[in-house]
Amino acid sequence: MAAAPRPVLADDLPAQADYESLKVAAEWYAVLQDAETGPRQRAAWQRWLDARPEHSRAWAHVEAVSRRFALFRADGEREAAEKAVQVASRRAPSRRQAAGRVLALGGVGILGWLSWRLTPLPAVVTAWRSDYATGIGEQRDILLADDTRVWLNTRSAIDVHFNQDRRLVTLASGEILIETGRDARQRPFFVDTRFGRLQALGTRFTVRQTEDDVLLAVYDGQVRIQNLAGRAAVVRAGEQMRFTADGISAAAPADPAREAWSRGVILAENLSLADLIAELGRYHAGYMGVDPRVAGLRVVGRYPANDRDRTLAMLERDLPIRVQRTLPWWVTLEPR
């Protein structure tokens, strides 16, 4: 069986089937949305659906992605929600202020706002409870009280806890870039993650947290890792390490791509097409898949993270692929 393409919207979606089943399921979905679809076509769809378990899984996946867009098929409603949330994001440094502004969205409502963000419920709850958070495709640049700058990447959330003895940022989800400020009281600066604590030693570094591990890349100064098992390591400028609750990897050269996102760039240095599309998918709602026949193509270049169409056009120009848009929110890359 061919390897399944990596989904953009994971977490709470049904398990994926193989690539071909997903492709056909999306095509059937488009057909069945046509008001002129008759009983014969629906019967053919039902026969396809019942033929293999993979077809049912693929159909469930397509339906789940579709439901994320159900409340915002009207352009005016989606634009109103987007504009309102963007205004709230610019004006509201605290979660209390953000709550007031989101409640004031009126006709769009809480349910509509959550659907526009298109994040799984646990991630929405995490973001709602956090001091600072971003949605899909959103990035924020925050200046903390000690002149530390924190950039939040797409779908990220942090809490900030400063007191007389220490400065602490807790990464609830996603990815951040930190440039520590000079603290007059010389309080230590920590970053807490689900797998351990980092201590910054006058530095610039990124932290990316996933379900499986944390990736720390240091670009200036040093950062000390101590994971939940008590193991420790120091990561120096130009190095990166991954760690889990009970292990720390060997040092590797710091990946420039892990800093480039703060400038709105996806940096590909001999990256596979599948990995590039997975990274691009972090910034956009919907589904993007890659045919296994072209998934291993190597890509080199700089791509705009928040302009999916431009990035896909650049890839289509430079690689032997074509972009197939089965539905507005379902895109696949296939051999030309």
Model pLDDT for residues 60-102, shown as the tens digit of each residue: 878 877 776 654 444 444 444 444 444 444 434 444 444 443 3
Question: How confident is the model over 13-27, as pLDDT tens digits?
Answer: 444 567 788 878 888
Whether 171 and 248 map to the same domain: the answer is yes
Whether residues 165 and 241 share a domain: the answer is: yes
The phi, psi pair for 4, rounded to 5°, reads: -75, 145
Same domain for 204 and 297, yes or no, is no
Question: How many domains does the chain contain in total?
Answer: 3
Which CATH number covers residue 329? 3.55.50.30
Whether 278 maps to a domain, the answer reads: yes
Q: How many beta carbons lie within 10 A of that of residue 328, not counting itself? A: 10
181 and 243 housed in the same domain: yes
Percentage above 70 pLDDT, the chain: 76
Flag whether 29 is in a domain: no
Q: Which of 250, 230, 247 is nearest to 239 (CA)?
A: 250
| CATH number of the structural domain spanning residue 161 | 2.60.120.1440
Confidence (pTM): 0.70
Same domain as 305, residue 281: yes
Between these two residues, 303 and 82, which has the higher pLDDT value?
A: 303
In this structure, is residue 59 part of a structural domain?
no
User: How crowded is residue 103: how many other Cβ atoms within 10 Å of its Cβ?
Assistant: 11
221-229 own/partner pairs: CB under 8 Å, 24+ apart: 221/180, 223/198, 223/199, 224/198, 224/199, 225/196, 225/197, 225/198, 226/196, 226/197, 226/198, 226/199, 227/195, 227/196, 228/195, 228/196
Q: Which domain holds residue 146?
A: 140-258
Lowest mean pLDDT among 74-83, 167-176, 192-201, 208-217: 74-83
**291 falls within a domain:** yes
Q: Is residue 92 part of a domain?
A: yes
Domain shared by 106 and 150, yes or no: no
Q: What is the mean pLDDT of residues 129-149?
A: 91
- Residue 33's pLDDT is 79
Shared-domain flag, residues 246 and 201: yes
Q: Within this chain, do residues 116 and 198 fall inside the same structural domain, yes or no? A: no
Q: pLDDT at position 199, please?
A: 97
Could you tell me if 235 and 282 lie in one domain?
Answer: no
85/188 same-domain check: no
Mean pLDDT of 231-238: 97
Judge if 295 and 326 occupy the same domain.
yes
The last residue of a domain, from among 225, 258, 291:
258
| Residue 69 located in a structural domain | no
Q: If you average pLDDT over each of 97-111, 127-141, 147-161, which comes out highest?
A: 147-161
Asked whether residue 231 falls in the same domain as residue 322, the answer is no
State the pLDDT at residue 96: 41
Indicate if the pLDDT at residue 6 is higher than 50: no
* Structural domain includes residue 296: yes
pLDDT in tens, 215-232: 999 999 999 999 999 999
Q: In which band, very low, low, confident or very high, does the pLDDT at 126 lie, cut at 50, 70 and 90?
A: low
Domain boundary (258, 290, 323) is at 258
Rounded distance between C-alpha atoms, residue 228 and residue 245, angstroms: 5
More confident residue, 41 or 122: 41
Question: Which of 38 and 108 is assigned the larger pLDDT?
Answer: 38
Domain termination site, one of 87, 115, 133: 133
The phi, psi pair for 263, rounded to 5°, reads -105, 15
In a domain, 23, yes or no: no
Per-range mean pLDDT, top range of 119-133, 191-205, 282-296: 191-205
Cα 31 to Cα 38, 45, 211, 285: the distances in Å are 10, 9, 36, 22
